[in-house]
Amino acid sequence: MKRGKLVLTELAKGLPGITPAYGDTLAEAGAVCLESQSHCNGVELQVRGSFDAGYQVFWQNVTSQMLRCWSDAEYTTEQGAYGVAILLILDLTDYTIIERSYKGTRFDYSLGVAEQGGDLPFQKAARLEVSGIRSGDKSTVRTRVTQKLGRFSSSDDTSLPAYVVVVEFGSPLSQVVKK
């Protein structure tokens, strides 16, 4: 089993398809989600599915201002899940985030591989679909994965691989599945 660290504040460095400001926003949302479930820095996130891994997760201190800003639990959970999922994809695969998808594409982000010696990815090489659950059990996570995988039906007009990442903040756990 792979072991590592996920540091949410690393998202503030930005990626080819994520500005530093948006990365910082995702990190804040993730921190609020984790602390809302009474987790402390260094909590272990179990990853299952196509990968078997465990990560210690670290984040910035959550302030009362952050709690007021992130009071919409559903939106916060979605944004926090994006942050955790992105860090998992960066660590578990050779992909990076190159572009946010628009509504109707059935996935959240396009993934690419950075050119040798360059900073920019050379192509859209895979798709990423993310879902967040503030508090649930393994059955809820499996059901959500199945729903998300259904978005990539056999009638897809693209042959690009797809990753589904479901992040559950209560345990915390994540299921990462490659299709």
Q: Supply 29's token pair.
A: 């949302």
pLDDT of 158 over the 70 cut: no
Strands 162-168 and 126-133: parallel
User: Could you give the number of structural domains in the chain?
Assistant: 1
What is d(CA 83, CA 151) in angstroms, rounded to the nearest whole number? 21
Provide the sign of the torsion angle of the four alpha carbons 104, 78, 29, 17, taken in this order.
negative
Overall average pLDDT of the 145-160 stretch = 74
165 forms bridges with which residues in the sheet? 130, 176
Task: Please report the pLDDT score of residue 156 as a whole number.
Answer: 58
Contact, 148 vs 166, CB < 8 A?
yes
- At residue 152, the 3 state secondary structure works out as coil
pLDDT of 119 over the 60 cut: no
Task: Give CA angle at 102 (23, 142), nearest 5°.
Answer: 75
Cβ neighbors of 67 (< 8 A, separation 6 or more) are 32
Overall average pLDDT of the 19-40 stretch = 98
Overall average pLDDT of the 137-150 stretch = 91
Task: Please report the pLDDT score of residue 151 as a whole number.
Answer: 78
pLDDT of 113 over the 90 cut: no
Task: Please report the pLDDT score of residue 154 as a whole number.
Answer: 54
Q: Rounded to whole angstroms, what are the CA distances from 163 to 9, 38, 141? A: 23, 29, 15
Task: Please report the pLDDT score of residue 126 as a whole number.
Answer: 92
In which residue are the tokens 């040798």 written? 116
CA atoms within 13 A of residue 4's CA, in its CB half-sphere: 14
What is d(CA 164, CA 4) in angstroms, rounded to the nearest whole number? 20
Q: Supply 20's token pair.
A: 């530093």
* Segments forming the whole domain that contains residue 100: 2-178
Overall average pLDDT of the 75-95 stretch = 97
